[in-house]
Structure 1
Amino acid sequence: MASNPPSNCCFTGFKHEGTATGEMISIGNISTYIARPKGDDTPQKAVLILSDVFGIFTNSQLIADDFAANGYLAVLPDLFAGDKMDISDFEAGRINIPEWLSRNGPDAIDPRVESVLRYLRESLSVKKIACAGYCFGGKYLARFLKQGKIDIGYTAHPSFITDEELAAIENPLSISAAETDQIFTRELRHKSEEILSETGQHYQLNLFSGVEHGFAIRSDLTKPKNKFGKEQAFLQAIAWFNFELSVYA
């Protein structure tokens, strides 16, 4: 497996401060947070944000707002149909991780991702779709990084990606990895590099020292290394999307 299944580190973290400025809409029956770039009523490029297990909450909404501020239509769907995790519930021991994962596998998630992609292509006429997959969402980025689906991919500390899913990608992929990560370990990073080199796709893998799994979306930002890592991981995603769009537009 290119990255291990979710573990306790995937279900913990810190809520970030800020006020989301986007809006909630429905795409079919999928509740979706959307942030629009200022001054662009018909954006031609979008970022689909595939979330970690906490789904739509302040941290992921603020990231969507940041993508919009950089000129992208940012779309953050509720992958879990209301069955998202809550940090406080996990800390209180109210979450049965295996049971939750059994309800939220590819049979449930794939159709929701497919519906949002179809909406972007057909209803909004978006020409290029980038995708940022965080932790849990990294698996579904890999599954949909195909011609006619997701054009450009970025993932931070991915979980649950199989060797076969990674080997089957058809478009460029960038990865932000944490030095301390029991899900995307050093051995699995190196194995992923080997798989990516065999795909023939343009790829990038940046390693951030001093941070742990989840640093790009839910780390404790009072710690300078975490704050630096989160900000630089986001800049990595933006630089990757901008470059790939300029080359392959």
Structure 2
Amino acid sequence: MASNLIKSCCYQGFKHHGEPKGSIFLVDDIEVYTSHPQDRSAEYGLLILTDIIGHRFINAQVIADQFADHGYFVMMPDLFNGDAVPLNKPGGFYMGKWRTGGYHPQGKNHLPETVDPIKIGAVGYCFGGKYVVRPLAPGRVDVAFTAHPSHIDEGELKDIQGPLAIAAAEYDKIFPAEKRRATEAILRETRFPYQVNLYSGVSHGFGVRGDPTNCEVRFAMRSTFFQAVEWFNHYMKQE
């Protein structure tokens, strides 16, 4: 694998302050958080695929709104059929049981066959990273960005057919140094544009669940966001 399986660090973090500007709609019984530029004139769209905290998490909604403020129409679907993991889930929660549908009322799992969506430009945080890499090919996803990705198979990474940018944490058991190096080697072989930025002093999940009162984390969060904006500006808006 190009990154390890999700663990407890994938649902631990800090809740941020903010007032969402977007709205939640139902699309074929799937909840989708959407956010528009203020003048509603976007010519480019982004699909944000969240970490396991889900699309109703204020941190994710504020990030979606920030992309909208930079000229993108943003859609952020519920990847989990109403079964997202609460932030800082207490003891007794088993990730494997959750992935295979053990906590869902209808037993719906959280595996590729139920999560793979169709997209355009896509952003994936942690869990969502796998699902921006898997469809990265013309006609599905044209450009992708992921922060602190989890559970990506090397074969999925080798199969990409478009530009991919990654924001990585210095302290990350899911995407550690050896996984980063393996990822870089694979990306070189694909011959598609890629970028891997490593942020010092931060841990897995910082891009969406970092502590905003910590100046080092706050810098990494902001830099990661603008890394993504510049990546999409370059590879989606330029001919």
TM-score range, shorter chain: over 0.9
Q: Distance in 1 between matches of 2:157 and 2:27?
A: 28
* Alignment partner, residue 54 of structure 2: 55
Question: CA offsets, 1:3-39, max 9 Å, x none?
Answer: 0010111121111000101001111111000001122
Q: Which runs of 5+ in 2 are unaligned?
A: 101-108
**Residue of 168, 176, 193 corresponding to 1:177:** 168
- Structure 2 counterparts to residues 20-39 of structure 1, below 5 A: 20-39=20-39
- Structure 2 counterparts to residues 129-168 of structure 1, below 5 A: 129-168=120-159
Question: CA offsets, 1:223-244, max 9 Å, x none?
Answer: 1111110000000000110011
* Alignment partner, residue 87 of structure 2: 87
- Structure 2 counterparts to residues 1-249 of structure 1, below 5 A: 1-41=1-41, 43-56=42-55, 57-88=57-88, 90=89, 92-102=90-100, 103-110=109-116, 113-114=117-118, 117=119, 129-247=120-238, 249=239
Q: Distance in 2 between matches of 1:96 and 1:163?
A: 25
Question: CA offsets, 1:107-156, max 9 Å, x none?
Answer: 2111xx13xx3xxxxxxxxxxx3111000000000111111011110000
Q: Distance in 1 between matches of 2:18 and 2:43?
A: 28
Q: Distance in 2 between matches of 1:9 and 1:215?
A: 10
- Normalised TM-score (structure 1): 0.90
Q: Distance in 2 between matches of 1:9 and 1:67?
A: 25
3-state SS in 2 of match to 1:20: coil
- Normalised TM-score (structure 2): 0.94
* Alignment partner, residue 106 of structure 2: none
Number of residue pairs aligned between Structure 1 and Structure 2: 230
Where do 4+ consecutive residues of structure 1 move more than 2 Å?
none
The structure that is helix-richer by fraction is 1
| RMSD over aligned Cα atoms | 1.1
Q: Which runs of 5+ in 1 are unaligned?
A: 118-128
3-state SS in 2 of match to 1:233: helix
Give the residue type in structure 2 aligned to 1:44.
E
